[in-house]
Structure 1
């Protein structure tokens, strides 16, 4: 029985399609949905930036992440019990740890995120990592 869905999002169109799929699943099974937004930590993701650029991007990341979480939460049916989690770290490993540390039955996530081709490549590898390392079923939305 599916009681708790983990829904990692990043604000991309693909993630919004994953929200819609999770909405349908949660309604069908009466499941709770936890929306997860992971702010990438450039120091841990292997991205080299100047310190000033890194501080600027980090100061803008949290408010933007909260906006994406709130938008996704509002797009879910009001009858669905939801929770929000905003974390910082290596995106793929943070999703893996979150999936292992809580009582999730299922993950719904998009195949690619927002941004440049390089960012899409990195986020595509996030999906691949999750598929290879979690022990619960994953629905990947394109």
Structure 2
């Protein structure tokens, strides 16, 4: 009788820590669903980040995130980061979190809450894709 190892997946070693920036748009919530699926299948740890302007009410976005995560069987770390619009940007704060947190993968929606629906990719998603030193998965 021979010894058989459990199947292992290379992806479980590649994407151990996943960051999901959310802004409340449906695109970003679909990205959260994909990250939760990765976590269930491969044991990834998921952190959700919402970057907001000073004084913004974050209660609604927290409830939306918790609603999506509920009953998925995955522990998610929810982070809120406030930025100063005169000295920084949403994309800059997300890049800072990627660097500081040591994430292996960023899963984000292609477009956020933009007024122009003709855009294929939003400015934040484009900036993250170009400036991130880690893998980025864009969800449409």
TM-score of the pair, normalised by structure 2: 0.76
- Pairwise mapping of residues 1-142 of structure 1 onto structure 2 (< 5 A)? 1=13, 2-40=15-53, 58-59=55-56, 61-74=57-70, 77-78=72-73, 80-89=74-83, 90-117=89-116, 124-142=122-140
Structure 1 partner of 2:86 = none
Higher fraction of helix: 1
Q: Which residue of 1 aligns with 2:8?
A: none
Task: Render the CA deviation track for 1:39-96: whole Å, top value 9, x for unaligned.
Answer: 146xxxxxxxxxxxxxxxx35x322332233234326x21x23101011222100110
**How many pairs align?**
121
**CA RMSD after TM alignment:** 2.2
Cα contact 2:18–2:106 (8 A) shared by 1: yes
Relative contact order (alpha carbons < 8 A, sep ≥ 6): 1 or 2 greater? 1
For structure 1, which runs of at least 5 residues remain unmatched after alignment? Answer: 42-57
1:46 match: none
